[in-house]
Amino acid sequence: MKSLFAFAAATILLAACQTTPPEPLRATAQLQPTKGNKTFGEATFEQVGDKVRVVVFVQGLKPGQEHGLHIHEVGDCSSGDGMSTKGHFNPFGKPHGPQGSAERHAGDLPALKANKAGRANVQIDLDIITLTPGPASIIGRGLIAHADPDDYKTQPTGNAGARIACGVIQPG
Ligand code: CU
Ligand code: ZN
């Protein structure tokens, strides 16, 4: 009898959980080459404590060169040149800037530093972005790898040049 009650309670609890979708605590983006390019990669975004752990792997970069990397405002790669992702994700109205500065776009990420094989990775924990709903949520936004280094000064782009790979940040 007792176990039957527990079973019923568990069933009801399970049903209640299923009616509200779980919060997206993990997201991914597949970076695909834009027109005329061969750069591709993958990014994962995972909630770790009160921060979001960003892990990005990219291949097909110019060997030995730095490449700007940003979260852009719109998760739309349909223009083929990455321009449909619009500008850097900037929910707090800040200037473009380097890591460690409070004066930067939420979407400003550390540069990709390509090795001799044209591969690069970035890992960083950020509290300026979220996976949960809110102004700083990166779900549904764009991820862009650039042809050139980010100078972290030129407004509002960092003068990082063409957009060579584009992805959409999606839950899961
Ligand atoms: Cu960018
Ligand atoms: Zn920026």
pLDDT by residue (tens digit) across 12-47? 555 555 666 655 589 999 999 999 999 999 999 999
CA distances from 89 to 15, 55, 79, 165 (A): 37, 18, 18, 16
What's the average model confidence in pLDDT over 127-135?
A: 95
Question: Would you state the pLDDT for residue 61?
Answer: 98
Q: How far is the CA of 60 from the centre of ligand 2 (A)?
A: 23
Q: What is the CATH number of domain 23-171?
A: 2.60.40.200
Select the more confidently predicted residue: 49 or 128.
Answer: 128
- The model's pLDDT over 94-105, given as tens digits with 9 standing for 90+, comes to 999 999 999 999
- pLDDT for the residue 32: 98
Domain boundaries, the chain: 23-171
Dihedral (CA of 135, 79, 70, 56) sign: positive
Nearest bound ligand to CA 145? 1
Ligand 2: centre distance to CA 3 (Å): 57
Distance 103 CA to ligand 1 centre (A): 17
Q: How much distance in Å is there from the Cα of 24 to the middle of ligand 2?
A: 25
What value does the mean pLDDT of the chain take? 92
